[in-house]
Amino acid sequence: MRVNLLFPDQELRLFKRKGSCQGDVVNDLELQTVIAAMSRGDEVIEEVVRSVLLERKNSIDVILFRQGVLKDAMAEPETFRNIYAIAAEAGQAERQVFGGLFARTPSARLFRSVRVLKIYLELLRKLRITTLKVESSLASEGMSIFINTISENLGEPYLEQMDEQLNYLSFADGALLGAKLAQHNRGLEYRLLHENEGQRRWWSRVSPRSSRQTFRIAPRDESGARILAEIQDEGVAEIAEAVFSSAQHVKSFFSSLSRELAFYVGCINLFDSINSLDAPICWPEPLPAGGGVLRFSGLWATVLALKTREPTVTNDLDTDGVFRIVITGANSGGKSTWLKSVGIALLMMQAGMFVLADSFAASIFDGLYTHFSRGEEENLAGGRLDEELSRLSSIVDEIASESILLMNESFSSTNEQEGSTVAEEVISAFTDTHLRCFVVTHMYQLASSLHALTLNSDCFLVAERKEDASRTYRICPGIPQPTSFSSDLYRQIGGFSTAQTS
């Protein structure tokens, strides 16, 4: 059986990419805050959510498929939590059965596999009952296929037959073996037989006396006991391997179920975390790659909301065919927060999640990358500019033409003239290949130079500043300005009086 709750035609494969690019995305966007809210300390959920959020690409069909399952999950959260709990319990089944390290003989291996399968059998029954209870209330394609799979493969007659077979393989009354007789009546090709009670003679059931062919070994006959054990091992070797394989197959099913449901339980956890804030929830519209579309209204800063537990300032944007967005304006005006909120929303959309906004639509992409400025770090092997160029080189090694690159004060580690020159060449090279760049910068030379070369695929935004120098933390269309209004912050903290400086 296959789970197929994250993809309509395949199962989830967790990945761990080499290099630091994905780690930078997590750190720069503060994605760990979202992951922590989704996982709530559950290591399986954390691993799965991180992997799914950082997937390079997904098709529109996969995104919509996941949205459908997630809608079911949000409509029946307890059902999804219960199924996840069943799958998690199955993950502990082997630990409940003693003897894993010592099950080296076929008989011991069979005995252990049977006990494990009996635990799985009860969990399969619980899974079937749990899913069938809500069958009529689940509308998604993914859950419909999953429930049909459970119904067709785990019917009660099948489960009862499985129970009967496992009871027989426990050998409470001993094992019935068959063999061929070789020279000198030596037994060959021992194999397990299934005793058919209906074909036994009636007098053997009424008077189960030992026949002339029955013999018993003495209680202290160690050699005889060892020989019988060897005969039984030979006889059950084939069935032991088959039962072990069956147990591993069921284990694999529950493992896949646990991983794929972990994503949806994480989404339920996140929804619960922000529900008390009255945050808007929308189902984003994924659009074909290469269109340069990014439209949203009432977009929240997800990370900020999770940290402060308060509503955030919202932002709007409507761009189509835009591959370069440049954001400038007042210091402490919300530029970095805007960039992070857009990055988080794009990752959530592509993962198949809801987005904290009134509406959200964007072209799908082939990987999202970040290049944010770094503070002074003791472990730097070279200078800050060397470090920035090294990170950029790692991004270039991975990035594709339909990727998105978020740049926050890149190359601010050097003077404005040199930083602007390097940044302009890098940004132009990226956008020439239809890679989408979102650039936050305080370097007026860079912003004005890009504005002078304005193309239809460019968009310029500024952090809004009121006449009284206060910040609204809204990002609006506007041309680059030659100042970041640092003097506002200087006056806000009181400045320095003449007496203090004399």
Q: What is the pLDDT of residues 15-33, one digit of tens each?
A: 555 556 899 999 999 999 9
For position 11, what pLDDT does the model report? 74
Among the CATH numbers 3.20.20.140, 3.40.50.300, 3.40.50.1360, 1.10.3080.10, which is that of 285-487?
3.40.50.300
pTM here?
0.86
For position 492, what pLDDT does the model report? 59
For position 99, what pLDDT does the model report? 57
- Tens of pLDDT along 93-109? 878 776 554 567 877 88
Over the chain, what is the mean pLDDT?
A: 85
At residue 502 the predicted structure's pLDDT band, cuts being 50, 70 and 90, is: very low
- Separation between Cα atoms, residue 409 and residue 339, nearest integer Å: 11
For position 497, what pLDDT does the model report? 43
The HSE-up count of residue 229 (CA atoms within 13 Å, CB side) is: 10
For position 220, what pLDDT does the model report? 78
- pLDDT of 345 > 80? The answer is yes
Helices (H), 329-485: 335-351, 384-398, 416-432, 444-452
238/390: higher pLDDT:
390
129/196: higher pLDDT:
129
- Separation between Cα atoms, residue 227 and residue 498, nearest integer Å: 103
At residue 241 the predicted structure's pLDDT band, cuts being 50, 70 and 90, is: confident
Closest CA to 247 of 146, 122, 115, 157: 115
Helices (H), 276-371: 302-308, 335-351
- Tens of pLDDT along 429-461? 998 888 999 999 999 899 999 888 777 789 999
At residue 196 the predicted structure's pLDDT band, cuts being 50, 70 and 90, is: low
- pLDDT of 286 > 90? The answer is yes
For position 109, what pLDDT does the model report? 83
- pLDDT of 359 > 80? The answer is yes
- Separation between Cα atoms, residue 91 and residue 258, nearest integer Å: 8
- pLDDT of 392 > 50? The answer is yes
CB 262 within 8 A of CB 84: yes
- pLDDT of 185 > 80? The answer is no
Residue linked to tokens 């630091």: 20
What does the domain layout of the chain look like in residue ranges? 61-196+224-275, 285-487
At residue 226 the predicted structure's pLDDT band, cuts being 50, 70 and 90, is: confident
Closest CA to 481 of 317, 313, 331: 331
182/89: higher pLDDT:
89
Pick the range with the lowest mean pLDDT from 90-94, 264-268, 334-338: 90-94
